[in-house]
Structure 1
Amino acid sequence: MTIKFAPLTLSCLLLLSCDNSVSTHSAEAPEKMTSQNNFDASLWPTRPKAPLNAALEGKITGLLNTMTLEQKVGQIIQPEIRHVSPDDTRDYFLGSVLNGGGSFPQQNKHASLQDWLTLADGFYQGSMDINAPTKIPAMWGTDAVHGHNNVIGATLFPHNIALGAAHNPQLIEAIGAATAREMAATGISWSFAPTIAVARDDRWGRTYESYSEDPALVKKYAGAMVTGLQGKKGSDNFLGKGKVIATAKHFIGDGGTQKGIDRGDANISEAELINIHAQGYFAALDADVQVVMASFSSWNGDKLHGHRYLLTDILKNKLSFDGFVVGDWAGHAFIPGCTDTHCPAAINAGVDMFMAPDANWRELFTNTVLDVKAERISQARLDDAVRRILRVKLRAGLFDKGTPSSYPLAGDTTLIGHQEHRAIARQAVRESVVLLKNTNQLLPLKPNQKILLAGNGANNIGKQTGGWTISWQGTGNANTDFPGATSIYQAIVSAVTPAGGDVMLSEEGQYTSKPDVAIVVFGEDPYAEMQGDIGDLGFRSETDLALLQSLQAEGIPVVALFITGRPLATNAYLNASDAFAVIWQPGTEAGGISDVLFTNADGSLRFPFTGKLSFSWPKHADQIAQNINTENYDPQFPLYYGLTNGEVDTTVYPLHVQPGDLSSSASNQQAIFQQRTFSPWTLRVIDQGTRTDLNGASLETPKVTLKTLDRFVQEDAIQVQWKGQTRVAFESNEAVDLSRFNKGRLVFDLQWQTPAPVALGLDCANGCSTVALNDYAQSATKDWQEVSIPLACLGTSLDKITAPFALSADGKAKLTLYNMRLEVGDEVCEKQ
């Protein structure tokens, strides 16, 4: 299936008080919003109100009149599946559940299609098994942001930044429709997509979730993706067979935060908020998007989850949005005066549904019931929120469809990774590849050559799929976790071998006979929100640069394929390549790369290079905010740049490289785990030689339980509870040279839950030892403490390290770890 190419031709708000009389978990009175804005609603367009369906509204009124207070509150609470059971949907009248990234039925990463359906049926049946005359079906939401990406075997499309480079709205609609069909197969009816942020500072870890820095392109795509997911507004199949509820997120300005900090503050004018960050929402609303997700971020100091002006006065009233607003991952807890278990301010501001992913959601339920009884939340506001939720459920036919396993397309295993969907994804890949350099028209290559394929991305589907892939951060995945997918290596073999060529795969670039051309695949490792935020835009890899330069020095033409979720300063790598193509994070269908990389066997063109940058590409690491039509705009490659076949490359090489492009002040530190596990380490349980990787939010073996927990932000800490003698270690498959830390220290934060003897050590080729963690960490307190251990106590030579952090215990200890890293220093070992 081919989609035709289509070229791009706030008076300050006072929050209502949180009362200290609430039982269970009280909160102090929230502060006033601190914004100095003089809001001006006249700057916003007025969208005419669409006429409501009188019969449907009458049905909603009838339902509201028969629902108890507890039923209504249950509708506005959304727990996460790790902390909720089908019985809870019955006992608390829950209106919905969600699964976060890396969360699965029974927390089994390899859950089957039937497992997903069985759990979906359970939640539905629980909601129907209540002891009340009015029964409201529960629904399930999921982050299907580049395909149904939590499900093994699903078609995974390129991330949004790549789709922006394709400049093809019709293709976006087709991707939405394919994603909806695969979701329908699992009985899940609600997608937390599309993200329609306009990323303006590419240090943001969610830049790859943004289609473009250009609001005009985001506007084109927002409506197209909503239509693909939900169906065409006004059509017979709107929210019908094979369609799901879409969510426009994150309202509003999440892509404009200062320094690109996730959940940060967009310090911008109201006009800029409208002209840049609101454009995608106008298109999504025109496509009749049913849900809008509030942003975790702030606008000029005011948290969006508590922003009545934007959520109610603008979105619901001025823009006539008649669906509902859902919060984002306990985002309500960050409103001044609120906690994760008590926040009437969010509901009063316009949030209609709390996203309450932690185990304490029952406290939130209890406190919200009390808030309504005490009139801290008015009955009218509660009824409005529930009316909006019921409206969406009725529009989606959830009252009539029955159990999710009986939905149209449910249980159809052929839909997961369907060949038609994979063909759409492959098209998206080839249309999104952006060619930045092509010396002497090296590309496309003739396939009947001897090809050396090198780099750590050459045969690594986890790397090519990026974040939000099976696990939240996209880490911990192996090629075997992607049945039906095509790695870059497999794609190139399929193009070359039938034409008489040969492909030699060597990650390190080794060969026995000199190749005609070398293709090197390298770039960013997977990451997601928060954990993907960076300090500058430098891509730094001594290994990758040395590989490119060595091959070029040997007279071998070098083609660089760069995997990335954002524009990065890569001048040194461009200089060391004869051709350089940005392949972004292409997903599971790498055949789209070989489609443009090679000619047919007879030399004729297979597919042309058509990708154009949807983000400006920086010259240097410190060149932070390069956006079209802004002051001091001076990118290496401007917005919409991209070479086509036969086009003369007028860029003058070598490009200038600043010292800061290749090294940074952070080099005196090496992260092991900072909000996520850093490459090349993998967190593993090692028991009598058997290794089991943590590749989701939790892992349980007979002798140990690992869980990711929230200390400051989502899943930024790791809890270890031993049940028997075993080891837990951050390991690499290959030895790593850490000799620059020989006199340094191992530093991390620790919190004891159950103090007991724990041994800590390194794994290395020789000279490594262990120490008693309890000698360095106080066990008389359960407060967080920083632990610093001289590396000289752990090893005399750190040039061949396979594990920089390993713990062993005998079955009694329980502790939580945060921010493990190595630091350069001048430490000596003084035994404790």
Structure 2
Amino acid sequence: MAIKSFMRLAVTGAVLAAMAACQSSDPKSADSSEAAKGDASIWPQIESQVATDPAIEARIADILSQMTLEEKVGQMIQPEIRHLTAEDVREYHIGSLLNGGGSYPNADKYASVEDWLEIADAFYEASVDTSDGSTPIPIMWGTDAVHGVGNVVGATLYPHNIALGATHNPELLEQIGWATARELAVTGIDWDFSPTVAVARNERWGRTYESWSEGPDLVGDYAGEMVRGLQGEPGTDDFMGEGHIVATAKHFIGDGGTLDGIDRGDTTGDEVHLRDIHGAGYFTAIEAGVQAVMASFTRWDGIRMHGHKYLLTDVLKDQMGFDGLVVGDWNGHSFIKGCTATNCPASVNAGLDIFMAPEPDWKELYANTIQNVKDGDIAMSRIDDAVSRILRVKLRAGLFEAGKPSSRPLAGKKELLGAPEHREIARQAVRESLVMLKNSDQLLPLSRDLNVLVTGDGANDIGKQAGGWSVTWQGTGNTNSDFPGATSIYDGIKQAVEAGGGKVQLSDNGSYISKPDVALVVFGEDPYAEMQGDIPNLAYKRGATEDLELLQMLQKQDIPVVALFITGRPLWVNRELNASDAFVVVWQPGTEGVGVADVLFRDNAGEINYDMTGKLSFSWPQTPDQVPLNVGDDNYDPLFPYGFGLSYGDKDTLGDNLSEEGLKVAETSDVLTLFNRRPMDPWGIEIVGVENDRVVMNSKSITSSTVSVTAVDRNAQEDSRRVVWNGEGEGLVALFAPERQDWTGYIEDKAALIFDIKVDQAPTDTTYLRLGCGSYCASDIEVTEGFRDHLAGNGWQTLSVDLNCFPTAGENFGISQPQDEFMTQVLRPFSFVTEGELDLTFANVRVEKFKANSALVNCQNQ
């Protein structure tokens, strides 16, 4: 597709003027400069079951007395493995490290256990090297094993927390913690950034699935049990014994209660609400002896948690008696007023003990923190307190006596990764977590001797059923081969049916060879992780209907339909409920999809194999905009209440006539978000090179013949996309939808396309912003001079373009396509194309109604 093939709009002058007037879109902190004040006495005094040990305290004092300032600050810096060497550990006295989601030894997704242990040993040996006179202090390695060891191929992955909440089985959490710790220990890692004890109160939040419940009581019941599973039973030899690791309660505090469910946003409610709703998990975790607490990105009372002295020090440490360490979250200190990623005394003074500093500039943070102490901006007493807490955790964990990671009892025991006893725990969790919302005529449980059709895009996709934090950070870019030993939902169904003499057919689209007795349709949310899962409302796939059409097609053929819904939160699925005879929420079951079939099918003798026992730990909405929705609210009126879940003995009276009017709410939003930290469903990212090589982005980076895209950090981890053209021919990057979208309403309501952009290398050839409806039509605005003269090298800017500036399309193909017709079939609403070299990064792409008149590029009067 040559550039000259497409119609152009000559509005360069307007674009230039608009770009010249652009203001930087870099966010400024709104944190208050005043320290928050409160009455810490309203918070409970908690007695940890891990008692103070005078021998450990004496040893802390002795070690501390031998340490230099440089050694102390090194203990407080936590780099990421991609930017850390053993020599760095030795030179800078680094006390801990992490590997983020999707980060592996040698950047190898398939790194072996030996690879993990090799670099763990290297870091350890550097940390205890005394050849230069340094104080030997073992390093500690942390990772996000939030539903099993998500970064190691072959590990057991458990259902995500929202599913575990539906089991209402606290004892099961201790078993999961125990098994997770054992598999972590195989790799030499000794610190888990888990459990997440958030009480999610708004399901638009993309981390809802990391929360056990909207109810604080259930979260409180679970948190302590999970900590005991990971760390061992306090007061016994089991505590921090063989196969146990350091646990972390996160994210302190209120991460599940932000306004509109926006990740890293403002937590709502007064201090009593903060305590009674969001404190529950910390109370039981501290009592169970949790050794680490991670600070939240969120803000309460005008101050972000990484700089909230009242909550981190006065409440958590002093009032509640937490004597472990407080670790930051992924450069979270950089969001504090007056701070940068490389200089933040305010966080230390507030009570942060360890900076999580995952970028290459962590050495600047180290040097600046030393200087902060010398300049008197941080008191030495605060440094000593932080390092004492770090040493206390390491001593309690037995790291000073443990030896190098490869020498520890479970290290290298590959047979423990995905061990049968661990998988059985996960399979039990799947069975107990399933929630049945509908069962017309008691269709379920099914006999095993049927002709069963298994269909839907989630039927045989372990990556989809595992969700985020599964091998990769977002859980995307995986195939079934990335989960050796695991079973898909289809695998489990096939085993059960064939064992009972039945027949199984698998198809993606509902096709079959012989008409089935029943169809099991597996569909739902695609994987996502933090930030990238935030949504504007609770409508399931509002712009895409393929799942609904599949259900309806099967029903029209008089085939009984069982819907198996993969999801990380309650969503508005009235249409899908109406189109199903039975509807079961399977959540994100992890690697043991076989557990689904355990419950759906009777045994070979025709008896109930396992009853449906799962009960909702989140309320289910009646409409897409019924959020927040939490048990105990005034006028509480959900479609399915907290605690709902049919068992096989219950009679279902739901019917097939649920209101579908909520679809209008979802489709008429004044703001259509296309990209917010990730492409928002149904949008995706694609590139097309000069060789017509089209690549869809489902991993951290993609490359074609002339253009590449990489997920990069702007304000948060991987919240932006950097696009680079190599100048060897035409290349296109686009946000695209699988089906054409009707945007005439946005034209009628005077909408603008708005996006944040940073141009690091000016274009060397003509460049266009394109709105397209496929390969045969597109409408372009030339932006070459604007990018070159006003954006290049000037950091982040926000641009807004009146949609009316995109004209008719297709004239060069002999097609006269008026704008109103063109806007009924939008496929690529945001794309850039050039034949030259260009380096830009974009973020936060949306369409907003009633913004055309105020758009920087305005065509309302043309």
Shift of 1:371: 0.9
1:767 matches 2:776: yes
Alignment of 1:186-335 (within 5 A): 186-335=187-336
- Separation in 2, partners of 1:559, 1:736: 26
Matched, 1:570 2:580: no
Name 2:762's counterpart in structure 1: 755
What is the deviation of 1:352? 0.6
Between the aligned partners of 1:683 and 1:321, the Cα distance in structure 2 is 48
Deviation at 1:505, TM superposition (A): 2.1
What does residue 719 of structure 1 align with? 722
Q: Is the 8 A contact 2:670 2:848 kept in 1?
A: no
**Could you tell me which residue of structure 1 aligns to residue 619 of structure 2?**
616
RMSD of aligned C-alpha atoms? Answer: 3.4
Secondary structure class of the residue paired with 2:565: strand
* Equivalent position SS for 1:60: helix
Aligned partners of 1:246 and 1:382: how far apart in 2?
Answer: 23
1:429 paired residue number: 430
Secondary structure at the aligned position of 1:265 is classed as: coil
CA contact (8 A) 1:757 1:773 kept: no
Of residues 819, 836, 841 in structure 2, which corresponds to 1:816? 841
Contact 1:519 1:558 in 2 (8 A): yes
Looking at structure 2, the residues matched to 734 and 318 of structure 1 have their Cα atoms a distance apart, in angstroms, of 52
Question: Would the aligned equivalents of 2:735 and 2:831 in 1 still touch at CA under 8 Å?
Answer: no
Counterpart-to-counterpart distance in 1, 2:673 and 2:258: 27
Whether contact under 8 Å (1:152, 1:481) holds in the other structure is yes
Tell me, in whole angstroms, the C-alpha distance in 2 between the residues paired with 1:72 and 1:146: 33
The separation in 2 between residues aligned to 1:309 and 1:743, in whole angstroms, is 46
Within 2, Cα distance between the matches of 1:336 and 1:828? 35
Q: How does 1:155-554 map to 2 (within 5 A)?
A: 155-539=156-540, 540=542, 541-554=544-557
Per-residue CA deviations over 1:618-640 (Å, capped at 9, x if unaligned) read: 11112112222221111111111
> Using the alignment, how far apart are the partners of 2:98 and 2:573 within structure 1?
39
Distance 2:508 2:848 in 1: 29
Query: Structure 1 residues 96, 699: closer, same or farther in 2, change over 3 A?
Result: farther
> Which residue of 2 is the match for residue 22 of structure 1?
none
SS of residue paired to 2:156: coil
Query: How far has the Cα of 1:798 moved from its partner?
Result: 9.6
Are residues 695 and 578 of structure 1, via their aligned partners in 2, closer, same or farther at CA, if it must alter by over 3 Å? closer
Q: CA–CA distance in 2 between the matches of 1:383 and 1:298?
A: 27
Structure 1 residues 678 and 483: CA distance shift in structure 2, 3 A: farther
Identity %, equivalent residues: 51
SS in 1 for 2:788: coil
Question: By how many angstroms is 1:414 displaced?
Answer: 1.6
Deviations 1:307-335 (A, max 9, x none): 22221122112221111011111212222
Q: Which residue of 2 aligns with 1:114?
A: 114
1:603 equivalent to 2:612? Answer: no
For normalisation by structure 1, the TM-score amounts to 0.88
CA pair 191-501 structure 1, distance change in 2 beyond 3 A: same
Query: Do residues 663 (structure 1) and 666 (structure 2) align?
Result: yes
Moved more, 375-384 or 551-560: 551-560
Aligned equivalent of 1:585: 588
Task: Kindly indicate whether the alpha-carbon contact (under 8 Å) linking 1:674 and 1:820 is maintained by their aligned counterparts in 2.
Answer: no
Report if aligned partners of 2:686, 2:735 keep a CA contact under 8 Å in 1.
Answer: no
Query: Aligned equivalents of 1:712 and 1:278: distance in 2?
Result: 27
Cα distance, 1:170 vs. partner? 1.6
Q: Deviations over 1:572-608 (max 9, x none)?
A: 2212111111111111111011111111233122111
Q: 1:370 to 1:790 in 2, by over 3 A?
A: same
- Aligned mates of 1:475, 1:224 — CA distance in 2: 30
Amino acid at match of 2:41: A
Q: Which residue is 1:89 aligned to?
A: 89
Alpha-carbon spacing, 1:392–1:701, altered in 2? closer, same or farther (3 Å): farther
Equivalent in the alignment of 1:710: 713
Look up the match of 1:18.
Answer: none
In the alignment, does 2:64 pair up with 1:53? Answer: no
Q: Does 1:104 align with 2:104?
A: yes
Q: Aligned to 1:348, what secondary structure does the other structure show?
A: helix
1:644 matched to which residue of 2?
A: 647
Distance 2:239 2:729 in 1: 54
Q: How far apart, in 1, do the equivalents of 2:503 and 2:729 lie?
A: 45
How far did 1:158 drift?
0.6
Aligned partners of 1:741 and 1:823 also within 8 Å? no
Say if 2:622 and 2:638, in contact at 8 Å, map to a contact too: yes
Q: Is the 8 A contact 1:738 1:801 kept in 2?
A: yes
Q: Distance in 1 between matches of 2:29 and 2:658?
A: 57
8 Å contact from structure 1 (residues 452, 511) kept in 2: yes
2: CA distance, partners of 1:749 / 1:388: 41
- What TM-score, normalized by structure 2, do the two folds share? 0.85
Compared CA separation, residues 30 and 504, structure 1 to 2 (3 A)? closer
Task: Give the Cα separation in 1 of the matches to 2:125 and 2:690.
Answer: 40
Query: What amino acid does structure 1 have at the position aligned with 2:65?
Result: N
Give yes or no for contact 2:773–2:827 (8 Å, CA) kept in 1.
yes
In the alignment, which of 560, 564, 571 is matched to residue 561 of structure 1?
Answer: 564
Amino acid at match of 1:594: A
User: Which residue is equivalent to 2:10?
Assistant: none
Q: Which residue of 1 aligns with 2:75?
A: 75
Matches within 5 A, 1:622-641: 622-641=625-644
Structure 2 unmatched runs, 5+: 1-27
1:782 aligns with 2:793: yes
**Per the alignment, do residues 190 and 106 of structure 1 end up closer, same or farther by CA in structure 2, a change over 3 Å counting?**
same
8 Å CA contact 1:790, 1:828 repeated in 2: no
- Seen in structure 2, the aligned counterparts of structure 1 residues 569 and 518 have a Cα distance that, compared at 3 Å, is same
378-387 or 643-652: which moved more?
643-652
Give the equivalent residue in structure 1 for 2:133.
Answer: 132
Given that residues 74 and 365 in structure 1 are in contact (C-alpha distance below 8 angstroms), is that contact kept between their aligned partners in structure 2? yes
Tell me, yes or no, if the aligned pair for 1:308 and 1:349 is still in contact at 8 Å.
Answer: yes
Moved more, 398-407 or 369-378: 398-407
- 1:654 aligned to 2:657? yes
CA 105–637 in structure 1, closer or farther in 2 if over 3 Å, else same: same
Structure 1 unmatched runs, 5+? 1-26
The alpha-carbon distance between structure 1 residues 642 and 79, as it changes in their structure 2 partners (threshold 3 A), is same
Q: How far does the alpha carbon of each residue in 1:244-299 deviate from its partner, in whole angstroms, 9 at most, with x for none? A: 11000111122222222211222322222222211211111111110011111122
Distance (Å, rounded) in 2 between the aligned partners of 1:480 and 1:808: 35
AA in 2 matched with 1:82: R
Separation in 1, partners of 2:336, 2:527: 30
Instruction: Give the superposition deviation at 1:441.
Output: 0.8
| Residue type at the aligned position of 1:713 | A
8 Å CA contact 1:219–1:279 kept in 2: the answer is yes
Q: Give SS of 2:610's match.
A: coil
**Aligned equivalent of 2:7:** none
Between Structure 1 and Structure 2, how many residues are aligned? Answer: 803
* Residues 335-360 of structure 1, C-alpha deviations (whole Å, 9 max, x = no match): 22222222111111111111112222
Q: Secondary structure at the match of 1:266?
A: coil
Give the superposition deviation at 1:547. Answer: 2.2
Q: How far apart are the structure 2 equivalents of 1:399 and 1:637?
A: 52
Q: Find the aligned partners of 1:141 and 1:790 in 2 and give their Cα distance.
A: 50
1:425 to partner: Cα distance: 0.9
Moved more, 383-392 or 669-678: 669-678
